Structure 1
């Protein structure tokens, strides 16, 4: 069973938040704000925040820029994970991933099923790694952002979480780029 090892020090993670929407402004961005608030409440640092339209190239370019920034450890996007023609966030993420975290989408679906039943099948939440940076794409609803953070990401971004967590392997995410 998972637990927090209180003998270890907490390690803050630097997280960027990207909202993908053709219509929202920063003032109307409830989902992005949910993530910003939870990141701060957990003791992590908001490294950057942006809102972009549902344009695959723009989203992928922003993800790549943040992955190239040594002051950003993780990126969480919200919006554009559905099934409509304008929902291209998942494709943009996959354009950038070096490795996909396949189980993230599965675990998110399990969490969502408990909250919204079979409507969870309409989400294409995904996670991956690129250039030593974690990337997660969440649905655009505040509830989905709360569920993903509270039930998955909060624990995985806590270095004290056992039996394992994302933070403890961060120094090794880009080891393949350092090999000669």
Structure 2
């Protein structure tokens, strides 16, 4: 069973938050606010925050820019994971991923099922890694962002979480780029 080892020090990570929306501004970005509040309350650092339109190439360009930025360890996007024509965040993430974290979407669906039942099938949450940076795409609702953070990311982004977590393997994510 998972647990927090209180004997280990907390290691803050630097997280960028991207809201994907054609209509929202920072003042109305409740989902982005949820993520920022939770990551800061957990002791992590907000590396950057942006809102970008539902345009696949623009989303992918921003993800790539943050992946190249040494001040960003994790990117969490919210919005654009649904099934409509303008929902292209998942495709943009997959354009950037070197490796997909397949189980992230599965675990998110499991968490969502407990909250919203079979409506969870309409979400396409995803996670992956590129250039040593973790990327997660979450639905655009504040509830979905709370669920993803509270039940998955808060644990996996905590170095003290056992039996394993994303932070402890962070130094090895880009080892393939350093090989000769």
TM range (shorter): over 0.9
- The residue that corresponds to 2:86 in the other structure is 86
Superposed counterparts of 1:1-180, under 5 Å: 1-180=1-180
Structure 1 runs of 4+ off > 4 angstroms? none
Secondary structure at 2:49's aligned position in 1?
Answer: strand
Distance between the aligned counterparts of 2:6 and 2:124, measured in 1? 35
Q: Distance in 1 between matches of 2:4 and 2:115?
A: 25
1:176 CA displacement: 0.1
Unmatched runs of 5 consecutive residues or more in structure 1: none
Q: Which runs of 5+ in 2 are unaligned?
A: none
What CA distance in whole angstroms lies between the structure 1 residues aligned with 2:123 and 2:108? 9
**How far is 1:129 from its partner?**
0.1
- Aligned partner of residue 118 in structure 1, secondary structure: helix
Q: Report how far residue 54 of structure 1 moved.
A: 0.2
1:76-132 CA-to-partner distances (Å, cap 9, x unmatched) read 000000000000000000000000000000000000000000000000000000000
- Rounded to whole Å, the distance in 1 between the matches of 2:30 and 2:3 is 30
Structure 2: distance between partners of 1:152 and 1:3 = 12
Partner Cα separation in structure 1 for residue 92 and residue 17 of structure 2: 15
Deviation sequence 1:6-60 (CA, Å, 0-9, x none)? 1100000100000000000000000000000000000000000000000000000
C-alpha deviation, 1:170, in angstroms: 0.1
What is the count of residue pairs matched by the alignment?
A: 180
RMSD: 0.2
TM-score by length of 2: 1.00
Residue 32 of structure 1 aligns to a residue whose secondary structure is helix
